[in-house]
Structure 1
Amino acid sequence: MTELAIHAADRDIANELCEQVRSAYHDRTPLRIVAGNTRAFYGRPVEGTELNVAAHSGIVSYDPIELVVTVRAGTRLSALNAALAEKHQMLPFEPPIFGDASTIGGAVATGMSGPRRPWAGAARDFVLGTRVITQEGKLLRFGGEVMKNVAGYDLSRMMAGAQGTLGVLADISFKVLPIPTASHSLRLEMSLQDALAKLSELGRQPLPITAAAWHAGELFIRLEG
């Protein structure tokens, strides 16, 4: 693949992380993987020595023509979104940001997607490949940088939502998409039952709906194209 736009990488500390994991494996010491730690509220509490991957950050490669970006797990979501926006592109699964420290690794590890998910797909659907540190401290690569690159189990996509139980995410390659040229949001006052009926009705029509939510008596719908 020809890299048409390579953004400066911050720091690759994968080898240092591997050494920490190997040491913990040898000493039978449990680890707690953290970076921005903005998703600590999700899942069960984990005890162990902190393995901080926040410094393992930066965009490794970005090809806007091929719609592929490879990024280190500690990269902040805000920085990645800004880099993609420069080329009018985006992460289609809209990972939620819970603070300035939110990272792309945390978004994938928790499998969190935004309001676009029912129409575009979940985080795992846009993961093309990963570099993962195993429990023994080995750095392995799964998948690649194209949509159809594996036969059988797609281990890279299994990392989405695994919360670090299958390994420590080091790098992730994503399929990205163009940002819609137009976006319009509607706010309709109605009950929850009426909102569900309305969404069912609209779902049968050829409308470019990309998000919907009901809150406190109001239905919000986003249309893009």
Structure 2
Amino acid sequence: MQQTLERFQDQVRTAAAGKGALRIRGGGSKDWYGQRLEGEILDTRAYAGIVDYEPTELVITARCGTPLAEIEAVLAERKQMLAFEPPHFGEGATLGGTIAAGLSGPRRASSGALRDFVLGAKLLDGKGDVLSFGGQVMKNVAGYDVSRLLAGSLGTLGLLLEVSVKVLPLSYREATLRFEMNEVDAIRKLNEWGGQPLPISASCWIDGVLALRLSGARAAVDAAIRSLGTAHGGHIMPDCEAFWASLREQRHAFFDGDAPLWRLSVPSTYGAIVLGGPQLIEWGGAQRWLRADGDAATSERIRATVKACGGHATLFRGGDKSVGVFQPLAPAVAKIHERLKAGFDPSNIFNPGRMY
């Protein structure tokens, strides 16, 4: 692995000297995410392997090119999991790409976001130097938490070489209840149930049907099934594992077709938002997927509406990326981004323009 690392360093230093651009790429399963792709490919897949895994400590450390499926298989053998349920979006997904994309799956509202589980990282910066941040325990940060900053940075700050991630035990029991109700009632119920001691691990409303996943101890899940089923008419959904996987990987019928896909992040308590297209609601109401045009006029209208709700909108897939994939930053926040980029990547060689 040392030879591979040295090859990465040579490639970075050569690019920095020639003011060239490098496009960090693992399996390429998320190439479509973000703004433009630019530069010579820096393929991370050769830098792979699990460095350390201690099940009793609930921490796994692996190199950036390690296949995500391999990590999940190793964890499953010890009845553990990546609690944020990261989407693969393809067979080639790697750990580095997963962290760089910063995307979480259906369990995010109950367990936390991907960045909450990042404990430490090693980074190759724009000068070709290896930097280490954090460690392998939760209380390891003094000052600025750079390891979590890398989550969702889309490789714009450097090449994520190695990462330590907290893992959690698998649930003893899982079941999914199905309720027929409209959008307004679903959002109201999700917030009402969210304030109760119920083992809710995921939720989804689409086309008049609310699906609620329950995970945890057998007694807790069985009690919740009896309570919600009796009082609110919930019925157990068969083959629920495939349903939640279809949401995580966006294979559900809602995601079919060529219409641009918007990701809306809003306060979970906010009611129905009328935006002229079909919606799918997750995370207790906090994440909403919208199928709508991605042109400039539609983009401006969607972002203005969602901002007024206290949230932000991302043109997640498809559409005209020239309107900006991500919600424009406030001037003060944009300055912070610029300074961080300049500090880690002074020659602007890593994934230039991928975020803003």
Q: CA deviation at 1:166?
A: 1.2
Q: Note the residue ranges of structure 1 that are not aligned, 5 or more in a row.
A: 1-10
* Matched letter for residue 121 of structure 1: G
Q: Note the residue ranges of structure 2 that are not aligned, 5 or more in a row.
A: 217-356
Identify the match of residue 122 of structure 1 among 113, 127, 130. 113
> 1:54-69 residue pairs with structure 2 within 5 A?
54-69=45-60
Partner of 2:124: 133
Q: CA deviation at 1:197?
A: 1.3
Partner of 2:102: 111
- Structure 2 residue 145 is the aligned partner of structure 1 residue 154: yes
Identify the match of residue 16 of structure 2 among 25, 47, 68. 25
- Structure 2 residue 154 is the aligned partner of structure 1 residue 174: no
Partner of 1:34: 25
- Structure 2 residue 75 is the aligned partner of structure 1 residue 84: yes
Give the Cα separation in 1 of the matches to 2:59 and 2:5.
21
Q: CA deviation at 1:213?
A: 1.2
* Matched letter for residue 189 of structure 1: E
* Matched letter for residue 14 of structure 1: L
Deviates more, 1:141-150 or 1:210-219: 210-219
Q: What per-residue deviation string (whole Å, max 9, x for no partner) do you get for residues 84-128 of structure 1?
A: 011111111111111110111111101101111111111111101
Q: What per-residue deviation string (whole Å, max 9, x for no partner) do you get for residues 122-180 of structure 1?
A: 11111010010001111111111110112110111100011111111110001111111
- Structure 2 residue 76 is the aligned partner of structure 1 residue 53: no
How large is the Cα RMSD of the aligned pairs? 1.1
Identify the match of residue 102 of structure 1 among 72, 90, 93. 93
Q: Secondary structure at the match of 2:98?
A: helix
Q: CA deviation at 1:15?
A: 2.3
* Matched letter for residue 89 of structure 2: F
Q: What per-residue deviation string (whole Å, max 9, x for no partner) do you get for residues 8-33 of structure 1?
A: xxx56222212211111111111111
* Matched letter for residue 148 of structure 1: K
How many residues get paired?
215
Q: Whose radius of gyration is greater, 1 or 2? A: 2
Give the Cα separation in 1 of the matches to 2:11 and 2:182.
53
* Matched letter for residue 44 of structure 2: V
Give the Cα separation in 2 of the matches to 1:90 and 1:192.
31
Partner of 2:212: 221
Greater per-residue helix proportion: 2
Q: What per-residue deviation string (whole Å, max 9, x for no partner) do you get for residues 47-91 of structure 1?
A: 111111122111111000111110111111111000001111111
Q: CA deviation at 1:217?
A: 2.2
- Structure 2 residue 140 is the aligned partner of structure 1 residue 187: no
Give the Cα separation in 2 of the matches to 1:21 and 1:216.
49
Q: Please, what TM-score do these two structures have when normalized by structure 2?
A: 0.59
Q: What per-residue deviation string (whole Å, max 9, x for no partner) do you get for residues 197-223 of structure 1?
A: 110121121101011111222211111
Give the Cα separation in 1 of the matches to 2:119 and 2:5.
19
Give the Cα separation in 2 of the matches to 1:216 and 1:106.
33
